[in-house]
């Protein structure tokens, strides 16, 4: 039995999609277990670019069954939009895409609720996709609706008739004097969602059985984490996190596959760090339009796949990645976007933090403490060569090799892959299972 997980060890956007695409074909199932259409996975095949935010990256491979697990929150219009976009690109999606009947559904009022909250002083800079309010309703138990319920029209109407008036009151209260909020009509929402339900129906099933039966039959599963480990609701930089478990700890609850089946955990890091939205970021390079931060942003095309927001950019933070490597149980790491750092005279890696005159190498529990930490850097020589055509480790400039080796030493894990460009071909395999 073989279950692999690909997980980001930073604040998301580590290029996990590329790794999932590379090894997805060695698996029978590719499964998402957390988040929703707040994720952004870009896969490049030559001149073809696929951008997915809700469907698992595995959906691109017709020989793999893609599964949206129960831990994911599903916005049906986005699901159908991505299915249609794949069909237009010649990738047909049918029985090979399954979505859990236990997965909670995002409704337009979730986005309105989030938008009203984000206008208050509690803003955390979300993606605005209704993710937080949908999970709130799930865990609050009274306002959540699961995908399976969409297939029962009478039941769905009754639930929405009870929930929507309450939601209208909440949204009005959140907006306060600012007003300008839209009132939702339960019947209208219900009619709209019953339309989606008909198209979703063939994909909806209890995916926990699908996956566990698959395991019994010797099938291999690849779990694709969305967001990064530092955005995990329990272990990330709370409250500047997402509302799900992006760490592999979310697999058991978010898919129904017991953790004992996991045999390989691949931690993905960028050769530098990025973050979108608010929250502490000790190694951030806020060095202006002519600075290194802007240079990395431009070369690395560091703009959000979902929202188009410019990502905040900083040096590699080994304290943070060592912490998430520990929590994720990673066996190995892959270092992505190394090519982006070409041309810099020197590079920095954060090896510790300084707080109130004390040096520490552990990641603080509280975001407000992390905010006060200053990075302690080690400086390494840069390299001038373009790396995008390098295919073997031996052909990397010495400085680039040393940089990767230092990351590996600091995280205390072997590096299995170095990526030097978005295309599948731009990959250097160092070792593999």
Instruction: Give contact residues for ligand IMP (rule: CB under 6 A).
Output: 11-13, 38-40, 124-127, 129, 131-132, 226-227, 231, 240, 242-243, 276-277
What is the DSSP annotation of 380-401? EE---S--TT--SGGGS-HHHH
Q: How far is CA 78 from CA 108, 128, 351, in A?
A: 12, 14, 41
The token pair at 318 is 């080994």
The token pair at 26 is 């060695």
Question: Nearer to ligand IMP by C-beta: 70 or 243?
Answer: 243
Q: Is the dihedral of CA 258, 327, 24, 31 positive or negative?
A: positive
**Rg (alpha carbons) of the chain, rounded to whole number:** 22
Query: Rounded to the nearest whole angstrom, what is the least distance from the CB of residue 189 to ligand IMP in the complex?
Result: 21
Question: Nearer to ligand IMP by C-beta: 59 or 242?
Answer: 242
Question: Nearer to ligand IMP by C-beta: 39 or 72?
Answer: 39
Query: Rounded to the nearest whole angstrom, what is the least distance from the CB of residue 420 to ligand IMP in the complex?
Result: 22
Residues written for the chain: 433
Q: Which helix (H) or strand (E) holds 406?
A: helix 398-411
Residues 6+ apart with CB under 8 A from 123: 117, 278
Question: Nearer to ligand IMP by C-beta: 35 or 214?
Answer: 35
Q: Which of 27, 41, 110, 235 is catalytic?
A: 41
Question: Nearer to ligand IMP by C-beta: 278 or 360?
Answer: 278
Closest CA to 108 of 70, 78, 68: 78
Query: Rounded to the nearest whole angstrom, what is the least distance from the CB of residue 225 to ligand IMP in the complex?
Result: 10
Shortest Cβ contact with ligand IMP: which residue?
Answer: 277
Query: Rounded to the nearest whole angstrom, what is the least distance from the CB of residue 392 to ligand IMP in the complex?
Result: 31
Which single residue is written with the structure tokens 């951030």?
Answer: 284
Active site residue 41: yes
Query: Rounded to the nearest whole angstrom, what is the least distance from the CB of residue 114 to ligand IMP in the complex?
Result: 7
- Distance between CA 405 and CA 65 in Å, rounded? 36
Q: Which of 13, 28, 101, 232 is catalytic?
A: 13
Question: Nearer to ligand IMP by C-beta: 110 or 167?
Answer: 110
Q: Is the dihedral of CA 296, 47, 35, 259 positive or negative?
A: negative
- Distance between CA 399 and CA 397 in Å, rounded? 5
What is the DSSP annotation of 237-266? STTSS-SS--STHHHHHHHS--GGGEEEEE
End-to-end CA distance of the chain: 14
Query: Rounded to the nearest whole angstrom, what is the least distance from the CB of residue 231 to ligand IMP in the complex?
Result: 5
- Catalytic residue positions? 13, 41
């Amino acid at each position: 039995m073989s279950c692999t997980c690909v997980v980001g060890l930073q604040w998301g956007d580590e290029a996990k999609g590329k790794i999932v695409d590379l090894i997805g074909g060695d698996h029978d199932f590719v499964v998402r277990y957390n988040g929703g259409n707040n994720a952004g996975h870009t896969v490049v095949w030559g001149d073809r670019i696929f951008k997915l935010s809700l469907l698992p990256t595995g959906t691109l491979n017709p020989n793999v069954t893609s599964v949206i697990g129960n831990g994911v929150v599903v916005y049906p219009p986005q699901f159908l939009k991505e299915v249609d976009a794949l069909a237009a690109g010649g990738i047909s999606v049918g029985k090979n895409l399954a979505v859990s009947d236990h997965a909670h559904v995002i409704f337009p009022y979730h986005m309105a609720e989030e938008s009203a909250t984000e206008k208050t002083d509690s803003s955390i800079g979300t993606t605005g996709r209704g993710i937080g309010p949908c999970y709130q309703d799930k865990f609050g138990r009274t306002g959540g609706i699961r995908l399976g319920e969409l297939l029962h029209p009478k039941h769905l109407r009754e639930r929405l008739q009870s929930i929507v008036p309450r939601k209208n009151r909440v949204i009005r209260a959140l907006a306060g004097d600012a007003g300008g909020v839209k009132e939702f009509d339960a019947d209208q929402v219900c009619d709209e969602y019953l339309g989606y339900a008909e198209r979703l129906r063939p994909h909806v099933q209890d995916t926990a059985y699908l996956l566990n039966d698959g395991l019994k039959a010797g099938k291999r599963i690849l779990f694709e984490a969305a967001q990064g480990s530092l955005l995990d609701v329990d272990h990330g930089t709370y409250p500047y996190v997402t509302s799900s478990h992006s760490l592999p700890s979310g697999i058991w609850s978010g898919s129904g596959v017991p953790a004992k089946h996991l045999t390989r955990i691949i931690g993905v890091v960028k050769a530098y760090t990025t973050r979108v939205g608010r929250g502490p970021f000790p190694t951030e390079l806020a060095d202006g339009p002519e600075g290194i931060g802007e240079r990395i942003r431009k070369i690395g095309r560091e703009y959000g796949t979902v929202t188009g927001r410019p990502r905040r950019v900083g040096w590699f933070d080994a304290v943070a990645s060592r912490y998430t490597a520990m929590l994720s149980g990673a066996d190995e790491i892959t270092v992505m976007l190394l090519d982006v750092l070409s041309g810099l005279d020197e590079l920095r890696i954060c090896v510790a933090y300084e707080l109130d005159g004390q040096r520490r190498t552990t990641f603080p529990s509280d975001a407000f403490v992390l905010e006060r930490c200053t990075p302690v850097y080690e400086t390494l020589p840069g390299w001038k060569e373009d790396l995008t055509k390098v295919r073997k480790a031996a052909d990397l400039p010495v400085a680039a090799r040393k940089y990767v080796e230092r990351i590996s030493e600091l995280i205390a894990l072997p590096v299995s892959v170095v990526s030097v460009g978005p295309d599948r071909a731009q990959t250097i395999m160092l070792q593999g299972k």
